[in-house]
Amino acid sequence: MDQDLTILSPEKTILTYRLAGLGSRIGAHFLDLVLVGAVTFGFSWLCAAVGSLLDSQLATGFVLFMSFVLPFAYFILLEGMLNGQTIGKKAFGIRVRMADGTPVNFLAALGRNLMRPADMLPGPYFVGFLAIFTNAKSQRLGDLVSNTVVCHEHRPQPFTVAPHTVGIHPLENFVGELRGMTQEEYYALRRFCDRFPELPGPTQDRMTDDLWAPIARRRNVPALPNVHPIYLAEAVVMKYGRQHGLL
């Protein structure tokens, strides 16, 4: 099976998701089934207790109906409302996404889970496993119908905070003399550099455009090919801070 899903975003950025393997999917599903079984058992016990006081046949019929509905409701509601994760999927670090990498929508969660009976034919998930092993995106029938995939969660990549207090940044020669730069700009950039590794991707991009780009234009800091702006911002912080005794 191909273990990576590569997507070209509308912004022409390549996104890579690691497709969930069979082991993590089975483990997550087993945990979910245990939870569904426990809830169903508790619900059945409650209905039996109430049925002994009221109409036992009505209670039995209601228990059978809910025993059929609850497993579907569990997967559909949790995946549709919790951005593609059930309790089992969260425990195993996997998530349902649309095949284009966007968050799963409620209609897709509904479709992929209503197809579970078809995946289980003619035995326990035989058709589902066969589909997973025979397509590049590891999709079972429900995924193929709803155009969804199951991926591992992205784990934050470790960053080292810029060493503002020591050394000379290798890009300092490219940032110029920084004539006219203010301490307010310095403190804003320093906070930006310190917090950058903790920010989600869209916030990083927005703050780069809103904070760094205007300062770079005013101070004539050129953009460098194949160099992320955060590195130039770090160079500015280190050079200005050392020159003005702010480190």
- Spatial separation of the C-alpha atoms in residues 60 and 35, rounded to whole Å: 21
- Spatial separation of the C-alpha atoms in residues 220 and 177, rounded to whole Å: 9
> How much is the pTM?
0.59
- 75-86 pLDDT tens trace: 999 999 999 999
What was the pLDDT predicted at 169? 84
- Spatial separation of the C-alpha atoms in residues 20 and 17, rounded to whole Å: 9
Radius of gyration for the chain, computed over Cα atoms and rounded to the nearest angstrom: 27
What was the pLDDT predicted at 93? 93
What was the pLDDT predicted at 247? 64
What was the pLDDT predicted at 1? 47
- 173-223 pLDDT tens trace: 888 888 889 989 999 999 898 888 888 888 899 999 999 999 999 999 999
Give the CA angle between residues 128, 130, 136 to the nearest 5°. Answer: 100
- Return the closest-CA partner of residue 116 out of 99, 94, 140: 140
What was the pLDDT predicted at 8? 66
For the chain, which residues make up each domain, given as ranges?
4-152, 172-243
What residues contact residue 94 under an 8 Å CB cut-off, 6+ apart?
Answer: 20, 24, 25, 28, 85, 150, 151, 152, 153
Q: Running along the chain, 247 residues long, what does each successive block of 10 average in pLDDT?
A: 67 74 92 91 76 65 78 93 94 93 92 91 82 89 94 67 62 88 90 87 90 92 90 91 80
Q: At what angle do helices 56-81 and 22-53 cross, to 10 degrees?
A: 150
